[in-house]
Amino acid sequence: MPSQQYINRYKKLNPAEISDGEYLVYWMQASQRVEQNHALEFAIEWANDLKAPLVVFFGITDDYPDANERHYAFMLHGLKEVSRQLEKRGIQIIVRYESPEKGIVAFVNNSQGVVTDRGYTKIQRSWRTEISETLDIPFYQVETEVVVPIEVVSEKREYAARTIRPKINKHLDTYMAAVEQRRLDNPSLSLKFEGLDISDPEAILGQLNIDRSVSPVNNYIGGYSEAIKHLDDFIKNKLSHYDVKRDDPTTNYLSNMSPYLQFGQISPIEIALKVQNADATDSAKKAYIEELIVRRELSMNFCYYDENYDNLDCIPGWARETLDAHRQDPRQHVYSFEVFENAETHDPYWNAAQREMMKTGKMHGYMRMYWGKKILEWTADPAEAFQIALRLNNKYELDGRNPNGYAGVAWCFGNHDRAWPEREVFGKVRYMNANGLKRKFDADAYIDKVTKL
Are residues 259 and 321 located together in one domain of the fold? no
- What's the gap between Cα 151 and its chain centre? 18
What pLDDT is stored for residue 337 in this prediction?
98
Are residues 240 and 326 located together in one domain of the fold? no
Q: Rounded to an integer, what distance in angstroms lies between the CA atom of residue 366 and that of residue 374? A: 13
Domain stop point among 270, 305, 340:
305
The total of other beta-carbon atoms located within 10 Å of residue 444's CB is 14
Residues paired with residue 22 on neighbouring β-strands, in sequence order: none
- Residue pair 443/437 in contact by the 8 Å Cβ criterion: yes
Are residues 395 and 359 located together in one domain of the fold? yes
In this structure, what CATH number is given to the domain that contains residue 45? 3.40.50.620
CB within 8 A of 306, min separation 6: which ones?
A: 157, 314
In this structure, what CATH number is given to the domain that contains residue 429? 1.10.579.10
Are residues 113 and 44 located together in one domain of the fold? yes
Domain stop point among 102, 123, 145:
145
Q: Is the pLDDT of residue 3 over 90?
A: no
Look at residue 174 and tell me if it is in a domain. no
Q: What is the mean pLDDT of the chain?
A: 97
Look at residue 20 and tell me if it is in a domain. yes
Look at residue 19 and tell me if it is in a domain. yes
Report the domain count for the chain: 3
In 3-state terms, what secondary structure has residue 186?
coil
Are residues 38 and 124 located together in one domain of the fold? yes
335-380: pLDDT as tens digits: 999 999 999 999 999 999 999 999 999 999 999 999 999 999 999 9
What pLDDT is stored for residue 1 in this prediction?
54
| Residue 18 banded pLDDT, cuts 50, 70, 90 | confident
385-430: pLDDT as tens digits: 999 999 999 999 999 999 999 999 999 999 999 999 999 999 999 9
% of the chain with per-residue pLDDT over 90: 98
Are residues 431 and 369 located together in one domain of the fold? yes
Average pLDDT of the residues in 261-289: 98
Average pLDDT of the residues in 297-320: 98
Look at residue 165 and tell me if it is in a domain. no
Q: Is the pLDDT of residue 19 over 90?
A: no
128-164: pLDDT as tens digits: 999 999 999 999 999 999 999 999 999 999 999 999 9
Rounded to a whole number of angstroms, the distance between the first and last alpha carbons of the chain is 53
Are residues 230 and 338 located together in one domain of the fold? no
Q: Is the pLDDT of residue 205 over 70?
A: yes
What pLDDT is stored for residue 112 in this prediction?
96
Please choose, from the candidates 187, 398, 236, 415, the residue with its C-alpha nearest in 3D space to the C-alpha of residue 312.
415
Look at residue 157 and tell me if it is in a domain. no
In this structure, what CATH number is given to the domain that contains residue 248? 1.25.40.80
- Residue pair 249/287 in contact by the 8 Å Cβ criterion: no
Are residues 77 and 44 located together in one domain of the fold? yes
| Residue 78 banded pLDDT, cuts 50, 70, 90 | very high
Please choose, from the candidates 233, 283, 282, 284, the residue with its C-alpha nearest in 3D space to the C-alpha of residue 256.
233
Residues paired with residue 56 on neighbouring β-strands, in sequence order: 26, 93
- What's the gap between Cα 56 and its chain centre? 21
Are residues 324 and 228 located together in one domain of the fold? no
Sheet holding 111-117: strands in order across? 10-12, 139-142, 111-117, 23-27, 54-59, 92-96
Look at residue 256 and tell me if it is in a domain. yes
89-106: pLDDT as tens digits: 999 999 999 999 999 999
Q: What is the pTM of this model?
A: 0.97
Domain stop point among 145, 171, 186:
145
Look at residue 432 and tell me if it is in a domain. yes
Are residues 6 and 140 located together in one domain of the fold? yes
Are residues 422 and 317 located together in one domain of the fold? yes
- Residue pair 392/292 in contact by the 8 Å Cβ criterion: no
Look at residue 370 and tell me if it is in a domain. yes
Parent domain of 371:
312-451
Are residues 334 and 301 located together in one domain of the fold? no
